[in-house]
Amino acid sequence: MFLKKLWWKLLGAALILIVLNRGLLTPLKHGIVDLSPTRSQAGATAIFEVFAYNSHYDRDPGSVRAYLRPHRPASPHREGDLLLAASTVDVRSATHLRLKFDLPAFLPDPQKLAAFTLIVDSPGDGPAVLPGKLIIGQDSIQVEEGIRAWTSRGSPEFSEWRKHWFPYRNILVETIRNTFFHVSLWFAMFLLLALSVYYSFRYLRQPLVDFDLRAFALVRTAMLFGLLGCLTGSLWARYTWETWWTTDIKLNMAALTLLIYLAYWVLRLSIEDPDRRRRISAAYNAFALATVIPLIFVLPRLTDSLHPGSGGNPAIGADDMDNALRMIFYPSVVGFMLLGLWMASLLYRVDRVEIRLDEGENIF
């Protein structure tokens, strides 16, 4: 019987431990940090310095290959064939390459300036991509001639990467691990708020003190998770946006959410009559969640936003996550939800004991 009541707590603790272990210790895949110079001219011999992250080029320098590919090709159906191989790949160190490209006189693009993606493939590290960083200009435009010049003679086979390492994302780099904490905390917060509203409705229908205490405990735990979500988000912003806070609508709506629930707490403290406090708190709690949902999930999607999941910027999609991240992210969400429920149950039990001591009788 004891284990039947304890299993979900043990599961939550185990999931959090797994997330801490795998989420913090799993390395990132090979990625390209920078390319210099970032501009060149068609028909020229271009030499580029390439700097990578978590690469081991010096282990097998003769097998490292590099390619340029149009970022937005004029003929999308030919995209896979439009590759220009580097004529020379000089491995300077484990993370530094010097590449030489003999650029054709014409580009497979109808514009004077076109963006190109760099691909570096290493047998020990797998392929890495730096999208659209290189800009190449051309004096005259001959798209068909450019397509012929850039068409690869046989599609190269890139190295397979079988290790379940986390993806390298430019700007994010190691901070991509914060996905397991910042995002999961907010998911757990909304679960706790939804459950608190459930108990508030139950109290309004049947005014038992037990329902009010459960709702209050869930709201307090949700506020803690929301505060931690804001702190981890602010830390994330510092390393990706170079500021602790911005005027981004999603960030401001998150702060407003915490203020709304802070007002719920202040409301409870300001009303002395217990029955009146519980009724008003239950009604306010339902109103608060109904207000927060459009603030967090609707308004940010109507405007441009740096934050993923807003303004056409997708979240938890192929551009943000891969299967290696999902294997840790979803257990993280479940783990924080169970941890939040555990913490709320402890708060509820403390409040219940305090009321019993104050009232001197069983009012439940």
- DSSP code per residue over 125-183: TEEEEEEEEEEEE-SS--HHHHHHHHB-SSPPPPPP--S-PBPP-TTTGGGGGGIIIII
Nearest to 352 by CA among 213, 216, 220: 213
Q: How far apart are CA 308 and CA 178, in angstroms?
A: 13
Q: Read off the pTM.
A: 0.84
Q: What residue type is 121 in one-letter code?
A: D
Copy the structure tokens of residue 342: 């555990």
Integer CA distances (angstroms), 259 to 193, 223, 224, 226, in order? 14, 10, 12, 11
Two tokens at 270?
């300001």
Strand extents, DSSP E, the chain: 31-36, 39-41, 45-53, 65-70, 84-85, 88-93, 96-102, 113-122, 126-137
Q: What is the mean pLDDT of residues 151-158?
A: 76
Greatest C-alpha distance within the chain: 91
Label residue 309 by pLDDT band (50, 70, 90).
Answer: low
What are the structural domains, with CATH classification, of the chain? 31-150 (2.60.40.10), 173-359 (no CATH)
Percent of residues, the chain, with pLDDT higher than 90: 48
pLDDT tens profile 57-92 = 999 888 999 999 998 765 554 555 788 999 999 999
**pLDDT-derived band of residue 2, with 50, 70 and 90 as boundaries?**
very low
